[in-house]
Structure 1
Amino acid sequence: MSKAFLRDTVIGSTLDLPSGKNVTVSRWKRLWEFTGGAFVDGFKDEPLVAPKPRYHKWVDGYIADENHENTECGPPFCYGPLPDSQKHMRLLQILPGAPQDDVRCFMYSVALEDCPEYEALSYCWGNATDLTSILINGHSLDITTSLRCALFRLRKLHEPRTLWVDAICINQGDVIERGNQVSIMGDIYGHTTRTVVWLGSGGEDSKRAFKICEQLAKEAIMLESNLDPSTDNLSFPEYDKNDSCLDNLVDDCPWWRRVWIVQEIILATDALLVCGSNEIDWKVFCRAMDRLISAQLTNGVVMGLVEQEPYRWYQSIISMRSLSSTNSLGDRLLDLLIHVREREATNPCDKVFSVLGLMEGNAELMGITPDYTGSTEEVFKHTAICILKHSSTLDIIGLAPTNAKDLPSWAPSWVYEGEIPKPMRFDARGNIRATHATRGTSPHLDVREKGSVLVLSAHHIDSISDLADVLPIFDKEAGWEEIPDPDEDAGAMEWFWSAFADIGQASGHMLAITNRLRTFISWENFVGSSKDQEVPYWQTISAGCGLDDTTSMAALYHEWHASLSPIRNLVRWRVDRVTTNSLFKSLGFMGYLKSTWNSYPEFGMLIEAQAAGRRLAKTKKGSLCLVPAEAKQGDSIILAKGGRVPLVIRRLDSEENAFESWTLVGECYVHGVMNGEAFCEEDCVDIRLC
């Protein structure tokens, strides 16, 4: 098919393509003009190269460019108000069209109880400044390019498709309407026939990932039926742990990090994952992922240091499905907020509002409703107060950071700004902490001065006298996937030595890890070598994990302690302090690495769960404790009614406060007091936290 032939052919005639499909020349000519003369390989008889080729692919015989803009424009779209009488929403119909046609839609409002069948679209909004227009009811509405791409790909050829799309069906410029619609979002997702998850345009990686998931799901079904996949006609190729296609689909795809998707998936009656032209049922995908994780087919140990949680964004959604609904309302909401804390939200208030639909209508009973008219700080503070009033513990104030701006020290900020320590509400194994430092008492609190002051009933038990180094939180997403496994890659050790030859490349990974491991050795020196300090030491750095089986935990500790011998020798020889220390540190690290690559001791993982982001300390009375990184000498340790764990507080300048006031530094573990040994309810007095 030559350029001249296309240029000169009479519009309206028909071409027989090599594939056997017939396409009118009028469409070919439009495609020719649109792509600047670029056609898909195999359908041209001479080279046709556009100066700047655009992304295109075959869809039903036509060249489809999902990134092109609408050619037609209308007057700006204006939203009308939704009726106030009952629950109403808007639905969007994507009108049918061929791939080269503009995206045209029809939108109308409907009562939720009388709505027709519709699907909900779950997607990543994308760059808010990268906008393009679509036609709705003959009017132009600007939406993000990523959303237009989704609508373009989901459009049907011959019939309309009815969707609920939050960015379009909610008037984003009306904060009152937005709050009202968010408050019924649980109902909106509960009424859908299906939630369609748009993961992006995808490519060969996503196609391969979906195929692997289908194979893993079939394998899981056969294993559940006690059948051996190897004896069946189905072929299950061995999963390659170094294949990054699933990582790209799950860990690297921005959709998984969005805070709203948790509610969208959990409340969905059914769900379909779509990536480009590939799709897979959510239940099939879950079966495949569970098979992948349970069979330990993923890379879990990173450079012999820490076991990463594979596909943590996916696992977070699954774990939230099983959160107990028998807890108090405050505790349930707190657990939901903890699970979404690291997720992303354009509006920080959505960290709270996005999980209210999972409260089964009880959020309103707590006094929390979506309200976008207030500031982020007001939303966070109000949420903390409501949780405290409807909770049986003080767990929420243990999540409050010391550097949150415009918030009292006891009110958590749900804005995620990097790695944060795990809350002590849970033990090192992820279970609700069994011990209770105030003997199961209920909180006795009073909120004063327009929500700026929290008065607790508590008493002082000790103060901090000495501090050790902070154990840094290990960055699990620092590019470790390129590091080879010495058990599977014969060239792995050569890779390490070549990396060490370039200190600039090595220092960011190996030496940083060596310095981190040195923290454990410095903690040993901080505690001392006395035999009677061994048990308090391992119980403190694990924050009391395994107190019901001290024999087994002691064995795990000794295994982990032995793995640090190369680093301990490094410190003993003091070569780590040599000026040109890179090679010596590398040698110590390599000795540690060799013994722990695929068998990082379990006790080490327990430390990561509780001690990371905290520091070891001693109290004035001689107790070992695990305290916040921000703790200072002289800080007071208190036990407050309702507190599962002790709290570290710091006295505020009396000149700035008419009453004696304190700021909360954070929660802590103090050896010997975690079962209420030091709590005396009669000694409690009012303590003001600002």
Structure 2
Amino acid sequence: MAPIQYQYSKLESPNHIRLIYLSSGDPHEPLYCTIQHANLKDAPQYHALSYVWGDSRKPKRLQIGGNHYLDITLSLFHALRDVRATRAERMCYAVWADGVCINQADLDERAQQVSMMSSIYRQSTHIITYIGPEADNSKLGLDFAHELCSWEHRRRDSITLDPRLQMSPKWTELGLPAPENPKWEALQSVLKRPWPGRAWIVQESLLGIDPPIMVCGRSSVHWMVLCQTVALARMGRLPAALSPRGGEDLAARCLVNLGGLRQGIWSEKRELAIPLLTLLEICHDHQCSDPRDKIFSLLGVASDRDALGIEVNYRTTISDLYTETATRIVEQYQSLDILSAIGSEKNFDLPSWVPDWTKKPRAESFVKPTLPTPRGLNVINSVNNVYKYQTGGNGKTSIKINRVLKTLTVDKAVIFDEITYISQKLDVVPMLEGRGMSEWLRMNLKHCVRLGSYPAPETLEDAFWMTLIAGKTHESTEAESQFRREFKAFFDAASDGFTGVRKWVPSDYLGTSLTEGFGTASAAYSRHQLVGNFGIALLGGADQRAFCTSAGGSMGLAPAQTMEGDVICVIPGARVPYVLREDGGNYKLVGECYVHGIMKGEALDLPRFESDLREVSLT
């Protein structure tokens, strides 16, 4: 008799789940299982599976019971095949996997089960992160990642970065394999796998008090090993080529995010410690097929889930969900930090003050959250030393949202200045490959000379370079006058088209491999370090933004889409100023900005500030 497609039966209660009981089998044998219902309150031991959903256009068959089947994605087929017991083990594992255990065609069940996923993963015996089948020498790559982390751990007492790490011909001097050793290529192949970029991987990886088990094919490794490997490469403690930048950096960025979140998600009291907005900002890179899951996938690990009261509902529109989420976050905290997540492009029809979580802003946020450093590393700069803006000082303003008109209104704000000059967008990475950087710097510095003097105490030149890096060094500490030498080295190098120094800007930011072109003289090394330090600082400041000046003579960094005539708004209590555009008596938010000389609350001390306070509404 021909197999019959499996038909889901209704779950008995909101506490019930389905479990897959996998029959043992060898890799070449078909997948057999049974599906049973269980009450989560007294469910048997089971493994919760985390995997890449994959392409559903070429399904594989899962055989259920005697004569039924389900079509599942190839990636889920590989996962179930590799986690089942072998025939020699003769065991039957219970597994929870959303692609089978949730009736995806039933929107109501899907919403109800998704709202339970935090409990499903937390109550599992083990969480298994499946990163794909064995391929491209993956077992060698995983073993090498563990080897590299152990090698670095033995050298951890030193806080000095050895430049030979970024010179592949010198690797053997450090006890590392030669660059042609297949271990390097095998590890890079593992690090390029797409699993870290899933939105759901965040919840699935963080919910257990203990880290998940990472499985690749039939091999396993400690979950933090790959996260540590990429983090160490980005810190310069392992070859930077392991953490690619540019078109291939998504998986690497997401791995770093997951590692930091894993260490910061639980408080000392074993309670969830990170609010939804912070999670949304950190996880902006993580992708999902249904845009609603950008929010739903994080609710289970958000410390403020109950306070915000956001319900999983796949019948709501994406625009309504994003707007209501932003509304509840603003109302709960009476904070405008969410406005810093606004990008220049949106996929959906949203008010200007509501972020589109499917489109990450190209520029790095001025109020981005910080993640913990991998445990045990000696780090010169700590989170406590990070320069944090406080443009609105300790002032307070009332924030109200009209759900009908979809407007955000602050009762106290000052239209501080009008933008009268806006440059072309600065795109650091391609400009480092030619002379475009020098032309951009010279054109804008020449414009600044016309200002005559600067309202802040610095000279015009100092105000200019401090503006370019948004007042922060490469270590995110407050820039002081001594950092001028980094600017001068960078300016001179730009004038030379970065000849002889291009390879010295860390590959973490260039997307090039630091494997050659290194000088040996200490003076040259010092120059390269200075250029690299300013380049890194520039990426956190002017990169993907435009340089601007105002009618009052201030310099700043504004969103690339800013236009002459837009205004700078300072709001008591807000950490940064905002660029606004008039819209029929109200304003549209263009985005956050940096204005040199007012980022510590100086604008609040101006004689006109109190008299200029007014109500401002964003549409």
Q: Which TM-score band applies after superposition, normalised by the shorter structure? A: 0.7 to 0.9
Q: Within 2, Cα distance between the matches of 1:635 and 1:295?
A: 41
Q: Is the CA contact (8 Å cut-off) linking 1:637 and 1:647 kept in structure 2?
A: yes
Tell me the equivalent position of 1:200.
Answer: 132
2:8 to 76, 79, 101: 79
Q: Within 2, Cα distance between the matches of 1:363 and 1:89?
A: 22
1:450 is matched by which residue type in structure 2?
Answer: V
Matches within 5 A, 1:179-190: 179-190=111-122
Q: Within 1, Cα distance between the matches of 2:81 and 2:445?
A: 61
Matches within 5 A, 1:352-501: 352-360=295-303, 362-404=304-346, 405-416=348-359, 420-426=362-368, 434-450=388-404, 452-457=406-411, 458-472=413-427, 474=429
2:137 is matched by which residue type in structure 1?
Answer: D
1:469 is matched by which residue type in structure 2?
Answer: Q
Bigger shift: residues 331-340 or 665-674: 331-340
Superposition deviation, residue 290 in structure 1: 6.0
Q: Is the CA contact (8 Å cut-off) linking 1:615 and 1:628 kept in structure 2?
A: yes
Q: Is the CA contact (8 Å cut-off) linking 2:146 and 2:225 kept in structure 1?
A: yes
Matches within 5 A, 1:501-540: 513-516=434-437, 518-528=439-449, 532-540=459-467
2:194 to 254, 272, 290: 254
Tell me the equivalent position of 2:259.
Answer: 318
Bigger shift: residues 384-393 or 241-250: 241-250
Bigger shift: residues 540-549 or 192-201: 540-549
Tell me the equivalent position of 1:480.
Answer: none
Change in 2 beyond 3 A, CA 1:196/1:323: closer
Q: Within 2, Cα distance between the matches of 1:141 and 1:249?
A: 30
Q: Within 2, Cα distance between the matches of 1:547 and 1:215?
A: 30
1:563 matched to 2:506? The reply is no
Tell me the equivalent position of 1:640.
Answer: 571
Q: Within 1, Cα distance between the matches of 2:205 and 2:274?
A: 22
Match of 1:527, SS state, is helix
Change in 2 beyond 3 A, CA 1:552/1:512: closer
Change in 2 beyond 3 A, CA 1:469/1:286: closer
Change in 2 beyond 3 A, CA 1:371/1:433: farther
Match of 1:354, SS state, is helix
Tell me the equivalent position of 2:83.
Answer: 154
Change in 2 beyond 3 A, CA 1:180/1:440: farther
Q: Within 2, Cα distance between the matches of 1:239 and 1:651?
A: 60
Tell me the equivalent position of 2:176.
Answer: 238
Q: Within 2, Cα distance between the matches of 1:219 and 1:98?
A: 36
Match of 1:359, SS state, is coil
Q: Unaligned stretches of 5+ in structure 2?
A: 159-173, 371-380, 453-457, 506-516, 519-528
Q: Is the CA contact (8 Å cut-off) linking 1:380 and 1:411 kept in structure 2?
A: yes
Superposition deviation, residue 302 in structure 1: 11
Q: Is the CA contact (8 Å cut-off) linking 1:564 and 1:592 kept in structure 2?
A: no
Q: Is the CA contact (8 Å cut-off) linking 1:241 and 1:298 kept in structure 2?
A: no
2:536 to 605, 611, 618: 605
1:154 is matched by which residue type in structure 2?
Answer: V
Superposition deviation, residue 88 in structure 1: 2.1
Q: Within 1, Cα distance between the matches of 2:75 and 2:415?
A: 55
In terms of Rg, which structure is larger? 1
Superposition deviation, residue 689 in structure 1: 1.0
1:165 is matched by which residue type in structure 2?
Answer: A
Change in 2 beyond 3 A, CA 1:401/1:222: closer
Superposition deviation, residue 515 in structure 1: 2.5
2:291 to 348, 352, 358: 348
Q: Is the CA contact (8 Å cut-off) linking 1:330 and 1:389 kept in structure 2?
A: no
Change in 2 beyond 3 A, CA 1:549/1:107: closer
Superposition deviation, residue 446 in structure 1: 1.6
Superposition deviation, residue 277 in structure 1: 3.1
Q: Is the CA contact (8 Å cut-off) linking 1:330 and 1:386 kept in structure 2?
A: no
Tell me the equivalent position of 1:96.
Answer: 24
Tell me the equivalent position of 1:590.
Answer: 499
Once the two structures are superposed, residues 5-48 of structure 1 have per-residue CA deviations (whole angstroms, 9 ceiling, x without a partner) of: xxxxxxxxxxxxxxxxxxxxxxxxxxxxxxxxxxxxxxxxxxxx
Q: Within 2, Cα distance between the matches of 1:108 and 1:75?
A: 18
Q: Within 1, Cα distance between the matches of 2:425 and 2:544?
A: 7
1:162 is matched by which residue type in structure 2?
Answer: A
Q: Unaligned stretches of 5+ in structure 1?
A: 1-71, 227-235, 475-508, 570-587, 655-659
Identity, % of aligned pairs? Answer: 27
Q: Within 2, Cα distance between the matches of 1:255 and 1:309?
A: 10
Once the two structures are superposed, residues 612-652 of structure 1 have per-residue CA deviations (whole angstroms, 9 ceiling, x without a partner) of: 11111000000001111011111011112432111111112
Superposition deviation, residue 261 in structure 1: 0.8
Match of 2:540, SS state, is helix
The TM-score with structure 2 as length reference comes to 0.79
Q: Within 2, Cα distance between the matches of 1:147 and 1:549?
A: 42
Match of 2:300, SS state, is helix
Match of 2:277, SS state, is helix
Change in 2 beyond 3 A, CA 1:437/1:116: same
Change in 2 beyond 3 A, CA 1:110/1:309: closer
Match of 1:610, SS state, is coil
1:673 matched to 2:598? The reply is yes
2:96 to 137, 150, 164: 164
RMSD over aligned Cα atoms: 3.5
Tell me the equivalent position of 2:216.
Answer: 275
Q: Within 2, Cα distance between the matches of 1:549 and 1:172?
A: 45
Q: Is the CA contact (8 Å cut-off) linking 2:473 and 2:534 kept in structure 1?
A: no
Q: Within 1, Cα distance between the matches of 2:566 and 2:532?
A: 34
Change in 2 beyond 3 A, CA 1:211/1:346: same
Change in 2 beyond 3 A, CA 1:293/1:536: closer
Matches within 5 A, 1:646-661: 646-652=577-583, 654=584, 660-661=585-586
Bigger shift: residues 252-261 or 427-436: 427-436
Match of 2:354, SS state, is coil
Change in 2 beyond 3 A, CA 1:330/1:612: farther
Q: Is the CA contact (8 Å cut-off) linking 1:427 and 1:610 kept in structure 2?
A: no
1:135 to 60, 63, 88: 63
Q: Within 1, Cα distance between the matches of 2:536 and 2:476?
A: 17
Change in 2 beyond 3 A, CA 1:455/1:221: closer
Q: Is the CA contact (8 Å cut-off) linking 1:616 and 1:626 kept in structure 2?
A: yes
2:559 to 617, 621, 628: 628
Match of 2:603, SS state, is coil
1:178 is matched by which residue type in structure 2?
Answer: R
Once the two structures are superposed, residues 630-678 of structure 1 have per-residue CA deviations (whole angstroms, 9 ceiling, x without a partner) of: 11111011112432111111112x3xxxxx1211111111112222222
2:463 is matched by which residue type in structure 1?
Answer: P
Once the two structures are superposed, residues 443-466 of structure 1 have per-residue CA deviations (whole angstroms, 9 ceiling, x without a partner) of: 412211526211122121101011
Q: Is the CA contact (8 Å cut-off) linking 1:470 and 1:519 kept in structure 2?
A: no
Q: Within 2, Cα distance between the matches of 1:441 and 1:369?
A: 33
Q: Within 1, Cα distance between the matches of 2:258 and 2:264?
A: 10
Change in 2 beyond 3 A, CA 1:449/1:593: closer
Q: Is the CA contact (8 Å cut-off) linking 1:324 and 1:332 kept in structure 2?
A: no
Once the two structures are superposed, residues 368-421 of structure 1 have per-residue CA deviations (whole angstroms, 9 ceiling, x without a partner) of: 12211111111111111111012252010122234323100000000136x611
Change in 2 beyond 3 A, CA 1:171/1:221: same
The TM-score with structure 1 as length reference comes to 0.72
Match of 1:590, SS state, is coil
Q: Within 1, Cα distance between the matches of 2:153 and 2:364?
A: 36
Tell me the equivalent position of 1:580.
Answer: none
**Structure ranking higher on relative contact order (CA contacts 8 Å, 6+ apart):** 2
Q: Is the CA contact (8 Å cut-off) linking 2:419 and 2:563 kept in structure 1?
A: yes
Q: Is the CA contact (8 Å cut-off) linking 2:431 and 2:437 kept in structure 1?
A: no
2:40 to 100, 112, 116: 112
